[in-house]
Structures are given as C-alpha cells and as structure tokens.
C-alpha cells in the first residue's frame, strides 16, 4: 500500500491529465476500480484548488533536509506533495484518490475566468528574499499556501490536541519524513531566544524582513530564510 501511495504522490497524483497521457503506457482496457463516496452530505472539500490561506511553520534542519531530498528523489514539487499528504492526513488516502478520479478537491478545475480587456504593459518584479533576523541557521521557516478549509481543519485538530497549530503541523511533518522514533527538537540546536522568535513568527506576532535582489554571498549569509511553498 505504501509503495503505491508513494508512486501516486511521486507522479500520478500531481501530473495534469495531458502530462499523464503523454507518459503513461497504453490503457490495457481493463475496467478501473470504482471509488465510492463513503460519506453523506457536503464535507466542504469538493473544491480545494485555491491556495489563499498561509500556514506558517518551521522545521529543524534534519527534517527540512529529509523533505528536500525526498522531493528531489521523486521529482516532486514540495508544495504539491505537502498539500496531497495533508489531504491524506485530514481526509484519507481514499478521498485523495477520489479527488483525482473525479477532478475535485485539490484537482478541481474551475471555469475559465473572463478574459481581461487590459492590454497595458507588464512589469517584472525584483526578486525578494525573506528572512527572520536572529533566527539562526538551525531552524527553517516555511510558508505553505493551501486552501482555507484545510487550514481550518488542521486548526481544529491542533485545538483538540491542546497544542498550537504550528507545533501540531511540525510534529506531523517531522514524523512523516523522519519517523516517529526521531525527534530532533529533543536535542534542538537552537537557543531559547531563537525558539521564541520562531514561535512569534508562526503566531504572526512578528513578520519576516525582505531584501531585494541579493547577491549569492549576501543570500548565503542570511539567517532564517523563509521558504515559500506556493506552487
């Protein structure tokens, strides 16, 4: 089961229908297994394609390294993978498969928007790198963009567990990428002051700073660079 699910995450689950048709083997003609609707009523997850909510979390460097290397190995985009994984966590693997089969949820395709009549010039923006002063280099702050419904359901689970949302999601991701027997925070390599800065950022009490078009040397010297996972 795990191998099949990882294959889904690593390819079938995140490719568009056109990409899938180009690379898939010819259909054998065998009927596809039916995925039944198992719940009555509206669960509010028919359309999860909009990523208008922002989830602030931070990961210890080993967990971020594990995620980056896993994404590279599977050829995946981290934002897409994490959204798919959180759908499985919240609603189940069966529901993710139904979403893909029925073009709903994460894979919902809204009607095309009316074409704009504006033909004015387009301007490019300078690249901006966000960072959190004083955070150090042992904590990686992340902004994950996802649907408001998913964030709300994660908040409900965190509240039921009696812990803050950022900590709840961090523990979910650390256990996913490193397992349940490894907890880097028990041997954390950052100070209590850096912990407070990270927690205040997650809670929205402070904001990251931005530096426009930094050189490679300037960017490498920044501590607390914020990873934006939006695509």
In a domain, 6, yes or no: no
Farthest CA pair distance, the chain: 61
Mention every residue, 6+ apart, whose C-beta is less than 8 A from residue 158: 164, 165, 167, 168, 169
For residue 18, the model assigns a pLDDT of 47
For residue 10, the model assigns a pLDDT of 46
Q: Is 45 exposed, middle or buried (0-12, 13-18, 19+ CB in 10 A)?
A: buried
Percent of the chain whose pLDDT exceeds 90 = 47
For residue 1, the model assigns a pLDDT of 35
In a domain, 14, yes or no: no
Supply the range of the domain harboring residue 136.
Answer: 46-109+127-229
Q: With bands split at pLDDT 50, 70 and 90, how would you rate the model's confidence at 123?
A: low
In a domain, 62, yes or no: yes
Backbone angles phi and psi of 37, in degrees to 5 = -75, 125
Q: With bands split at pLDDT 50, 70 and 90, how would you rate the model's confidence at 8?
A: low
**Euclidean distance between CA atoms 51 and 40, whole angstroms:** 26
Enter the DSSP assignment of 213.
Answer: S
Copy the structure tokens of residue 87. 């759908």
The model's pLDDT over 78-91, given as tens digits with 9 standing for 90+, comes to: 999 999 999 999 99
In a domain, 39, yes or no: no
In a domain, 12, yes or no: no
> Is residue 99 over pLDDT 70?
yes
In a domain, 9, yes or no: no
Strand order of the sheet with strand 139-146?
53-60, 139-146, 227-229
What pTM was estimated for this model as a whole?
0.77
> Is residue 187 over pLDDT 60?
no
Percent of the chain whose pLDDT exceeds 70 = 78
Please count the structural domains in the chain: 1
In a domain, 215, yes or no: yes
Element spanning 201, H or E: helix 192-202
In a domain, 2, yes or no: no
Average the pLDDT over 105-109 and give the result.
93
**Euclidean distance between CA atoms 142 and 54, whole angstroms:** 10
């Amino acid at each position: 089961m795990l191998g099949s699910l990882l294959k889904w995450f690593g390819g079938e689950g995140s490719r568009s229908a056109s990409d899938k048709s180009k690379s898939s083997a010819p259909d054998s003609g065998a009927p596809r297994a039916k995925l039944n609707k198992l719940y009555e009523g509206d669960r509010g997850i028919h359309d999860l394609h909009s990523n208008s909510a922002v989830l602030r979390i931070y990961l210890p460097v080993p967990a971020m390294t594990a995620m980056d290397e896993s994404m590279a190995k599977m050829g995946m985009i981290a934002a897409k993978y994490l959204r798919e994984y959180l759908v499985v966590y919240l609603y189940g693997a069966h529901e993710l498969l139904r979403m893909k089969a029925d073009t709903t949820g994460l894979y919902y395709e809204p009607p095309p928007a009316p074409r704009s009549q504006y033909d004015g010039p387009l301007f490019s923006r300078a690249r901006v790198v966000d960072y959190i002063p004083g955070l150090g280099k042992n904590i990686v702050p992340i902004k994950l963009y996802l649907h408001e419904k998913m964030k709300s359901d994660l908040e409900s689970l965190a509240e039921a567990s009696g812990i803050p949302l950022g900590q709840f999601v961090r523990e979910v991701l650390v256990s996913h990428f490193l397992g349940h027997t490894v907890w880097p925070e028990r041997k954390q390599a950052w100070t209590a002051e850096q912990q407070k800065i990270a927690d205040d950022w997650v809670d929205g009490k402070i904001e990251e700073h931005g530096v426009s078009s930094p050189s490679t040397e300037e960017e490498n010297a920044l501590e607390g660079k914020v990873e934006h996972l939006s695509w």
